Structure 1
């Protein structure tokens, strides 16, 4: 009966004994679809022949330049995503068991091999490897999801508000790559009744940037609760950014607003960040005079001017990261931009975050949004 290898495979045989190599090749020729076989007599030769097209490695554990599990570890290091089948001598079957424990998918004793057993072992070894890789990816995805969840809870806290005169809505969405970035936001009301809001964006993507965003967000809340605002707060955040960032080119943009206790005006600092959107008495516009200074982490002597904004009796203010205006819209996937964002708000007649984000298009970057609205009396 012929061996059952239903697809043409590409194998690498690492064997220094010509006779044993000949036997393996002859047995595999009996398969329904005989595989392509590359032969290496040593680990040194195997390194050159172990290309991505190799689907399974058959390796003898007695080689001129490696012996026992050392040879296996070398092969596993060279081909971490390839199935490995170990060949042992009659007296070394115990080594085969140790090889499986060390990472091989299976082992065969040379004296007990026939064509059917060899073909089946190769097929099973490949299936086990696929299952191992899939399980590893699943575990990594679960760990990443847990880490992202932990970071998101620190990046996106609940607002500290003790007034019912303010409606507060937030949204956060990851970009198309699904990788957590350093977008963050926070809202704190201090004992004097002032409402402080911040939205920030650490450049780059990944856990390091997200962790830096967490540090900046917590520092911002701590400073606000301690009574520090304005340039003093920004200089402290700038110093923290420089101390914690992994590379000197990392910078952070942010927008923060301090709404007066009577809710009729606000002082804003737009730190290299997209301009906030205001809706006052039905008029939709961006805050004029932005930005008020450069991003954090670029200039050591930077200053940021205050933008005074009269809010009036009925108003809504939206602070957001650039993931919103960099969303791809239309058939040509053009960037939404600030003007496009204003058009969407005017079209809706109000700021409805869910409708706005749904209409914005495909997100290429993370998106963080805070909407603060004065409730109707």
Structure 2
């Protein structure tokens, strides 16, 4: 049964006026209009098997300034039909034909997590009311000791406490996400080890859609025994599983490099780690690995399903030509193909993830893609932007072209071939 209560609402409706407004004519026919304060509207689910107590509760609610929409049920089984997605106030008797006590309360709390729950208990069961509040109810009232004013205040306060609890929960979750984000960032966005390398670097990362959490994009650069190795990659998908897998791959790659594993065996070993660590079988990673021997200008490139790097020279950007290969984790990697490009001293190479080239471009083919990025780099450099400022400026330009924040995360690593450190 559903009842709409509230004295102000019924009176206004009977007079043909809008709620809270009443007009009267005095002897001099002047209109004396009084606008009452707006009343709060509350959905009430009354779970009570005693018709007399249910009638009493409805009468008490009529005495409050609240506009109440009351749904009365007599059993927990009936209540289950209303509890899901219910966001109002549950007025609950702890003794029902099909359930009772704290077990009843817990089911109601679990079934309607967004609702405020006020326990309606008998005089002899007041101790149950105290225990109910300790178990999660917002308040308890004793039958026979309640008037309309007290009931109205209790409902309002219960709703406010429920909102405060929800705000506190969301704040706690936000803080937990922020702490998790910091841990993921330390894994995905490392301190590169290039003290003795001829390569200088500028690293940049921006989450997609202005998210607080990082995604699965990762990068690293390590100098070991006279060879500098650079890595950039992207795990398919978005979420904590993808971010965790990105961290695992990045750390495993550094461990393989520092452990002296032969260069051509790095990616097959990395694929074995991906297969063992991924949460779903369909997860894969695109990546680009570059290796440069100190004193040489030839860079060995291994690109697996990833956008190829750009070589920056004299204000222009040139796309490197690489052999297409499937992403890591799609087919077994026995030995990846290696391409060789020249990076003269004083020139730079830009590594990036596909969140940058997936930006909308406004014309065919619709997305920026590598060719569009190449033109954008040349335009930005032609404006006099310095190399250290280039990554951030490119993302700003891509967002302007996209008409808003990029949908995917963007990681960039800009390396410049200088003198050994």
TM-score, structure 1 length as denominator? Answer: 0.93
Shift of 1:331: 11
Distance 2:360 2:77 in 1: 50
Distance 2:343 2:192 in 1: 21
- Using the TM superposition, name which of 221-230 and 122-131 deviates more: 221-230
Does the aligned pair in 2 maintain the 1:202–1:253 contact within 8 Å?
Answer: yes
1:326 is the counterpart of 2:358? yes
**Equivalent residue number for residue 9 of structure 1:** 42
**Equivalent residue number for residue 293 of structure 2:** 260
Partner-residue secondary structure (3-state), 2:144: helix
Does the aligned pair in 1 maintain the 2:65–2:152 contact within 8 Å?
Answer: no
Does the aligned pair in 1 maintain the 2:234–2:353 contact within 8 Å?
Answer: yes
Partner-residue secondary structure (3-state), 2:71: strand
Shift of 1:229: 4.3
Aligned residue runs from structure 1 range 217-236, under 5 A: 217-236=250-269
**Equivalent residue number for residue 219 of structure 2:** 185
Query: CA 1:191–1:181 in structure 2 vs 1: closer, same or farther (change >3 Å)?
Result: same
Distance 1:119 1:5 in 2: 15
Query: CA 1:310–1:153 in structure 2 vs 1: closer, same or farther (change >3 Å)?
Result: same
Distance 2:224 2:180 in 1: 31
1:370 is the counterpart of 2:370? no
Instruction: Tell me which of 120, 130, 141 is aligned to 1:108.
Output: 141
Partner-residue secondary structure (3-state), 2:276: helix
Shift of 1:325: 1.2
Shift of 1:285: 1.2
**Equivalent residue number for residue 135 of structure 1:** 168
Distance 1:164 1:226 in 2: 18
Q: Residues 257-277 of structure 1, C-alpha deviation per residue, up to 9 Å, x if partnerless?
A: 001212512000011101111
Does the aligned pair in 2 maintain the 1:105–1:128 contact within 8 Å?
Answer: yes
Does the aligned pair in 2 maintain the 1:280–1:312 contact within 8 Å?
Answer: no
**Equivalent residue number for residue 154 of structure 1:** 187
**Equivalent residue number for residue 59 of structure 2:** 26
TM-score, structure 2 length as denominator? Answer: 0.84
Distance 1:217 1:201 in 2: 10
Does the aligned pair in 2 maintain the 1:329–1:336 contact within 8 Å?
Answer: yes
Query: CA 1:271–1:301 in structure 2 vs 1: closer, same or farther (change >3 Å)?
Result: closer
Instruction: Tell me which of 347, 365, 369 is aligned to 1:337.
Output: 369
Shift of 1:123: 0.4
Query: CA 1:80–1:226 in structure 2 vs 1: closer, same or farther (change >3 Å)?
Result: same
Query: CA 1:331–1:85 in structure 2 vs 1: closer, same or farther (change >3 Å)?
Result: farther
Shift of 1:99: 0.7
Partner-residue secondary structure (3-state), 2:247: helix
Q: Residues 88-129 of structure 1, C-alpha deviation per residue, up to 9 Å, x if partnerless?
A: 110111111111111111111111110011011000000000
1:355 is the counterpart of 2:393? yes
1:208 is the counterpart of 2:241? yes
Partner-residue secondary structure (3-state), 2:283: coil
Structure 2 portions without partners, runs of 5+:
1-6, 9-36, 400-404
Query: CA 1:331–1:307 in structure 2 vs 1: closer, same or farther (change >3 Å)?
Result: closer
Query: CA 1:231–1:49 in structure 2 vs 1: closer, same or farther (change >3 Å)?
Result: same
Partner-residue secondary structure (3-state), 1:128: helix
RMSD between aligned alpha carbons? 2.3
Distance 1:88 1:5 in 2: 31
Query: CA 1:329–1:101 in structure 2 vs 1: closer, same or farther (change >3 Å)?
Result: farther
Partner-residue secondary structure (3-state), 2:67: coil
Query: CA 1:40–1:231 in structure 2 vs 1: closer, same or farther (change >3 Å)?
Result: farther
Partner-residue secondary structure (3-state), 1:234: helix
Does the aligned pair in 2 maintain the 1:280–1:311 contact within 8 Å?
Answer: no
Q: Residues 208-265 of structure 1, C-alpha deviation per residue, up to 9 Å, x if partnerless?
A: 2111111111110111112224441111111111111111100011001001212512
Query: CA 1:54–1:153 in structure 2 vs 1: closer, same or farther (change >3 Å)?
Result: closer
Structure 1 portions without partners, runs of 5+:
none
Shift of 1:302: 5.4
Does the aligned pair in 1 maintain the 2:345–2:418 contact within 8 Å?
Answer: no
Does the aligned pair in 1 maintain the 2:297–2:344 contact within 8 Å?
Answer: yes
Query: CA 1:108–1:328 in structure 2 vs 1: closer, same or farther (change >3 Å)?
Result: farther
Does the aligned pair in 2 maintain the 1:5–1:119 contact within 8 Å?
Answer: no
Aligned residue runs from structure 1 range 25-64, under 5 A: 25-64=58-97
Query: CA 1:165–1:297 in structure 2 vs 1: closer, same or farther (change >3 Å)?
Result: closer
Shift of 1:165: 4.0
Does the aligned pair in 2 maintain the 1:5–1:31 contact within 8 Å?
Answer: no
Instruction: Tell me which of 128, 131, 137 is aligned to 1:98.
Output: 131
Query: How many corresponding residue pairs?
Result: 375
